A and B are shown apart, each in its own frame.
Chain A
């Protein structure tokens, strides 16, 4: 049984306007996403800015309410749960945020951040909390002395480690990592990624790893979801992506990736045009306007995900 599963998940944000402040439309951030994440699996989500990756992650962890669809966690439908009903599930799913500068409360010490979460869920008996907090800080590679320090005394990488400690201290089963390294220097990125790889094994985590960096996702994940304009356009095991990507958008993403070999020159497909407005979705395939393989059918019919080989699904009419 999958740990996390969604059916036709949609998240739309109302846009208000006019004199009377009426809802004049919606931003379609996530459109009809079906996904299932098995226990212990790491799923990557890639796509360009504004394609709904973060919204998907936040909807899964119930930080944003979905407009329609179902979220099931460990077999339970948690879509309509109230704050109280969600509480036991809150502990089991955590999120690591993108911006280490705004993800920590500037008026709370590092220790207080972790302690607060541990105390809320009674992760350890009250007498052992202090020891547990120190242990947690050590686990993410910081010295226990830092527990009395405030966030502004740390570098971006160190803050991100604190953010990871806060997410993991409640012993979650499922963690959404929302672009956890995109705000960090490359050298620090590697450290944090290594740390996360270690912790994934140590805590036996199921993860959703959101990124716009295909290389990072490929390295870190078992399976990759490619998103475009709120739609999942391709779902592919990460060892196949280099060789077997079928959707033109995935191919374009791969083509945009720099290759560290000057002799290896492949033809570069440069996408033209812009992403359509999520305010008004196109009728057919969302990618039709920029697709090099566009056909007449693409502009009227929206393709759905179809299984091409085991664990590899594509939403494209051009793919046989």
Chain B
């Protein structure tokens, strides 16, 4: 069967379509990542770990000096607290355990005797003190500028003529301060570099294989809790595939069963199916999805996803599975109505086969091409809807997903931090686009009337 397909016209047509080949390559990368997620190489724990200070931008973008300084101070404090407590410990293992608490992803405090670490920490503190001095000086200069400006403004409001010499004096101060600031900024930055270098020697960025992993995990920066955006986006591939597959398979089965039964048995079965279809398609689908999800979350079983992670996605499956089959049902119903009148179906009756056997053996297999295409359409449809639902806080809970990432990252976009929203959008865009192209190509390839 497969060999026959690979030799067939459809496969040849598919192979000639370069865009289809490219989209298949993209999809296989996604499938690979999803598999890594399923086998646990990309674990959920890795999406919850701190890898960087909060809201660190990704590759090629760096934070402003002030934020970097704040991060350095935050990290130094983090180390300091552990070092402080480690001094009271005698057991070297307990000491090590304390120090490992500081670790961020693959970056951890060097494996050295405690004395050495203390010494390095002292260096960090010394560098920090130096940095504070320069920063204080810079702050003073900036303060001078601001307060002088305020003074000038006040003098001018009262009587500019009378206080002319005082204004001149203030302007003098501003000029002096402004002359100092650039130098101080450079000095501050170099002091900051020293601090960071000291921290680096205490907590070196890993190299080699671990370094590669660390680079991967930090390349898209971190979210507002310091978690790796890259890992969240990658783990979301698994969630997307999980939802896409379950929903698409459920909908194709449900839609085919109902549509085929309705068209084939006609009468009251058909009325019933079409009534359901009409009702479901007359309600705005997002509202319906929300309602079904609410019904599920009302029950205590689904209320706490952290306790039962296996059940966390059930409301999402149920909501989409109960609503998305409508389109498939309508398409299959039309096709079965057509097939029902064909002579090979009459031939089956003439041989004496029952209606159910005829439907299952002779009619439904001939709608396979529609099931195939509908599966692909439902797959991306489910992924897109998951994003919308999760954005509204109704979808995935307790696990990362693209929708949740967009939902969590949306507030930071206003302050110019687009990494989380951007990563989720780009990952989803790539998958949806590739699937759309592939679906189009499949449709062209399998359509016997299509001539290129």
Contacts and interface: CB of A to CB of B under 8 A. Distances in A.
A167 B366 CA distance: 22
Contact of B350 (A83, A90, A99, A107): A90
A63 B349 contact: yes
A103 B343 contact: yes
B399 to A, nearest CB: 40
Contact of A97 (B347, B361, B368): B347
A102 B344 contact: yes
Nearest to A84: B354
Interface stretch (A67-75, A116-124, A189-197, A211-219): A116-124
Interface size class of B (residues with CB under 8 A): 10 to 19
A22 B115 CA distance: 96
Contact of A63 (B350, B361, B362): B350
Nearest to A152: B448
Contacts, number: 55
Contact of B352 (A58, A86, A104): A86
A257 interface: no
B351 A170 contact: yes
Contacts of B344: 102-105
Given A99-B343, A102-B343, A117 B366 contact: no
B163 interface: no
B350 A95 contact: yes
Contact of B366 (A98, A105, A120, A170): A105
A120 B347 contact: no
A121 B362 contact: no
Contacts of B351: 90, 94, 116-117, 120-121, 166, 170
B346 to A, nearest CB: 5
Could you tell me the dominant secondary structure of chain B's interface residues? Answer: helix
B265 interface: no
Interface in A95-116: 95, 97-99, 102-108, 116
A250 interface: no
A116 B358 CA distance: 11
Contacts of B354: 83
Which of B351, B361, B365, B366 is most buried by chain A, counting CB atoms within 10 A of its CB? B351
For B344, B350, B368, the residue with the greatest tally of chain A CB atoms inside 10 Å of its CB is B350
Contacts of B342: 102-103
Interface in B214-246: none
Contacts of A206: none
B353 A95 contact: no
A87 interface: yes
A58 B342 CA distance: 13
B2 to A, nearest CB: 15
A120 B352 contact: yes
13 contacts: A83-B355, A90-B352, A93-B350, A97-B346, A97-B347, A102-B343, A103-B342, A105-B365, A105-B366, A116-B351, A120-B353, A121-B351, A121-B352
Interface of A: 58, 61, 63, 83, 86-87, 90-91, 93-95, 97-99, 102-108, 116-117, 120-121, 163, 166-167, 170
Interface of B: 342-344, 346-347, 349-355, 361-362, 365-366, 368
Given A63-B349, A83-B354, 12 more contacts: A90-B351, A90-B352, A94-B351, A95-B347, A102-B342, A103-B342, A103-B343, A105-B362, A107-B366, A107-B368, A121-B351, A163-B347
- CB-CB nearest 5 A-B residue pairs: A90-B352, A103-B343, A97-B343, A102-B342, A105-B344
